[in-house]
Amino acid sequence: MKTIKYPEPSDWPALCERPTFNFSELEERVGAIMTDVRSNGDKALLRYSKQFDAVELDSVTVDIANQEFKIDPELADAIKMAKSNIEKFHFSQKEEIKVIETMPGVNCWRKSVAIQNVGLYIPGGSAPLFSTLLMLAIPAKIAGCKNIVVCTPPSSGFDANTPPLEKPACRQGRGAEGDFNRKPSKPVEYLNPVIGWTCQLLGIEKIYLTGGAQAVAAMTFGTESIPKVDKIFGPGNQYVTAAKQLAQNFGVAIDMPAGPSEVLVIADDTAYPEFVAADLLSQAEHGPDSQVVLVSNSEKIISEVNEEISKQVNELPRKDIAVKAFENSQSVLVKNLDEAVSFSNEYAPEHLIIATENAEELGEQITIAGSVFLGNWSCESAGDYASGTNHTLPTNGYARNYSGVSLDSFVKKITFQKLSKKGIQNLGPAIEKMAEAEQLQAHKNAVSLRLKKIKKDPETSSG
């Protein structure tokens, strides 16, 4: 991980750039997939499972209710604890309806109403993220979303501690070009059991085995098996992110453009180098296109953290991925911690760890970040799994204008107003004057007719 010493503020924007694909090429490839799924539905999804995942399925649908999933009991307890904390934090975000009388006889209020149909994309493959299922399904359930559609890629690399109920049949062939000398498999054979067990815990009855841009397309347009949704949630690689952005062209909302994971750590001499190194590695292991940044006013800390990274990375099963991510990463030596905060606000990190003596004080100066972790003991992994906050957060600088997922992400805010006779009498003349100034006579008449009715018949019902 290269070190940049005392960069000038004018150089910061270049240092804050993320690794990206050529978006025009990416958009073209993803657009073709979306068009294919829109035209060919499940047939296209099954073809992409064979092409991209080397899995030949007979259906994309897994009926969770009729399956039994065995997972490690300690893992089950850990998931239940995380569920409890996530529920507690998100339940606290419910808002009471407050009726505001803006002037005598004029009452206004706002009501939260659940988005009826939501789609949850759960990254899978080599590392199925059951934690993302918790982060998205729990607030969707609390909000009262009627239909929750869950899509995740088929997986065959099950962890030894979480074996599937039945071992998947052996596959022959070489991906899309291989010959499959057997009948297509049932989708449950390629559903990671932890994902299945967590779905049951959350009361989700069906899950759809499809991933990547094709899953987003399926939720955007609907297929024979997968219902169309109104809003799509969930992180993913650049293909998933591009597909979500294209989905907006077809009237489907998205949570945010959440792409490859990232973390920025601000550290001073009071930080523990081994902790900082572990935090940086925890994001680097997500994928080769992830990015991690260390910002410090101490050259000694930067040196010690880099030494720790060299030690710890060799112990990681996903070492090759982490090493690749560090090619896109950097340490930045700054003059003082105020400058470190300014750099962080320029970078707009998804995750920000402040490992300093005055972490809470510096935290008050943070204006742009997805989620902030204060002090040496607040590892980013806590937010990823079980502290209660949501880990679906804006990346790639989108923290400048997006919030992370919350209960509000799953609801619409509808405003209401009620005017009494007294209210329209008090407010009416101002409305008439403003409508007349904008030359909108019908707007004025809507008020004038009511005022005339009250004047002519004061005893008329208030309605």
- The residues annotated with a catalytic role in the active site are 350-351
Does 391 count as an annotated binding residue?
no
Does 441 count as an annotated binding residue?
no
Please report, to the nearest 10 degrees, the dihedral formed by the alpha carbons of residues 163, 167, 168, 173 taken in order. 110
Q: Could you tell me which residues are beta bridge partners of residue 150?
A: 120
β pairing state of 330-333 and 291-296: parallel
Q: Which amino acid is at 273?
A: P
Euclidean distance between CA atoms 180 and 57, whole angstroms: 11
Residue owning tokens 């101490």 = 298
Neighbours of 216 (CB within 10 A): 32
- The Cα-based distances of 355 to 273, 275, 291 in angstroms read 10, 9, 18
Does 457 count as an annotated binding residue?
no
Does 351 count as an annotated binding residue?
yes
Does 286 count as an annotated binding residue?
yes
Does 237 count as an annotated binding residue?
yes
Does 438 count as an annotated binding residue?
yes
Token pair recorded at residue 36: 């294919």
Euclidean distance between CA atoms 380 and 300, whole angstroms: 23
For residue 358, give the nearest of 332, 330, 336 by alpha carbon. Answer: 336
The answer to whether residues 403 and 394 touch, using CB atoms and an 8 Å cutoff, is yes
Q: What is the CA radius of gyration of the chain?
A: 26
Annotated binding site for NAD(+): 121, 214, 237
> Which segments are annotated as binding site for substrate?
261, 283, 286, 351, 384, 438, 443
Residue ranges at the known binding site: 121, 214, 237, 261, 283, 286, 351, 384, 438, 443
Q: Which residues are annotated as a binding site for Zn(2+)?
A: 283, 286, 384, 443
